[in-house]
Amino acid sequence: MRSDVYEILETISQTKVRKVLATIVNVEGSAYKKGGSMMLIDENGEQTGLLSGGCLEEDLHARSKDLIEAQASTIVTYDLSAEDDLSWGQGIGCNGKITVLIETISSQLSTHLKKVKDYIVNGQTVTCVKRMTPEGFVTGFLFFTAASEYFGQWSGDIPNINELTLNKLSFSERGIFFKQTIPARPRLFIYGAGTDARPLANLASLSGYQVIVADWRAGLCHKDNFPFSKTYVVTPGEFVSTFTFSDVDSIVVMTHHFQKDVELIRLLIKTRIRYIGILGSKDRARRLFNGLNPPGWVHFPVGLDIGAEGPHEIAISIMAELIQLTKKRRDASVLV
């Protein structure tokens, strides 16, 4: 889950101070973060996200001040493989070279990044392509939607993004290019707003999910219980008709009410949702389906089997299962 990306885009859309965006555009060997990882630094020194275990950030902060004043961009390569006492990455387990693009966020780029945020919040992945000089001066950027529409600042021929390597610099006669994907922000729906839903909602929010909590009991759905989530007071039928679910969405059913669960699950299995987790035992879940064979994307008992006890440990097991499934899905898409 790339929670840093969502936090960075949210910060860009909310604050007006000058900022630089640092993006890993090439990795040789091992590194703390992969290509495409981003970090935001503003003129006051406030940082959102990180690119290393702490060995690069001080230098990036120092460089950002001059770049903000000059409204410029540059490329810096950090060699983490050297073993002398002054080397980058000493003692944190990195053993490679990381190339970082550091660019000032212009008013035009800021406007386009706000648009990117709207797309990913609405369930659409965006592909970004940047063109730059060998010194790291960005000469153009484009954002491509899943519908092959694009927006940004560009002169000359539009590149064929399928010819560019993902998360790694591509070199051609037309310049140096970098392509990255900004994945649609997944949503986690929690139906059932009892006490045991609170740690799950908070942990999912910290992990980069948009969290929506729903329940038919108005007394449970308020900000004091779920400060980082949107809450809805709806019946199972109203809940399913209120939202359009996509294949990046997940739901955990934890009402502790058998008839409500039956009603909700029968409606949900007709949607495009990618994951349904049901709290409770296997026997209870089978009774919910009344003899029907549940599809493979229905998981019960919910969460990885780590021997979890209590609401907090169960929340960890659920998030571990969601992260595992997301990782497997991304790996499979890369192999296709």
Assess contact for 159 and 186: CB atoms under 8 A: no
pLDDT, tens only, 227-270: 999 999 999 999 999 998 888 899 999 999 999 999 999 999 98
Q: What is the mean pLDDT of residues 279-299?
A: 89
What pTM does this model have? 0.79
Calculate the average pLDDT of the chain. Answer: 89
Q: What dotted CATH number matches 187-335?
A: 3.40.50.720
DSSP assignment string, 248-301: T-EEEE--S-HHHHHHHHHHHTTS--SEEEE-S-HHHHHHHHTT----TTEESS
Confidence of residue 39 (pLDDT cuts 50, 70, 90): very high
Task: Determine the angle formed by the axes of helices 3-14 and 107-121, rounding to 10 degrees.
Answer: 130
Span 69-94, average pLDDT: 70
**Domain extents in the chain:** 3-182, 187-335
Q: What pLDDT score does 83 carry? A: 52
- Give DSSP secondary structure letters for 213-247: EEES-GGG-STTT-TTSEEEE--HHHHHHH----T
Q: What is the average pLDDT across 146-150?
A: 89
What does the pLDDT read at residue 82?
Answer: 60
Residue 114 has pLDDT above 50, yes or no: yes
Encoded amino acid at 253, one letter: V
Q: Are strands 38-42 and 47-48 parallel, antiparallel or unpaired?
A: antiparallel
Q: In what order do the strands lie in the sheet with 126-132?
A: 150-153, 138-144, 126-132, 175-182, 169-172
To the nearest whole percent, how much of the chain has pLDDT over 70? 93
Per the CB < 8 A criterion, the answer to whether 333 and 319 are in contact is no
Identify the pLDDT of residue 330.
61
DSSP labels for 54-116? SSSHHHHHHHHHHHHHHT-EEEEEEE----STT-TTTTTT-EEEEEEEEEE--HHHHHHHHHH
Name the pairing type of β-strands 230-233 and 210-215. Answer: parallel
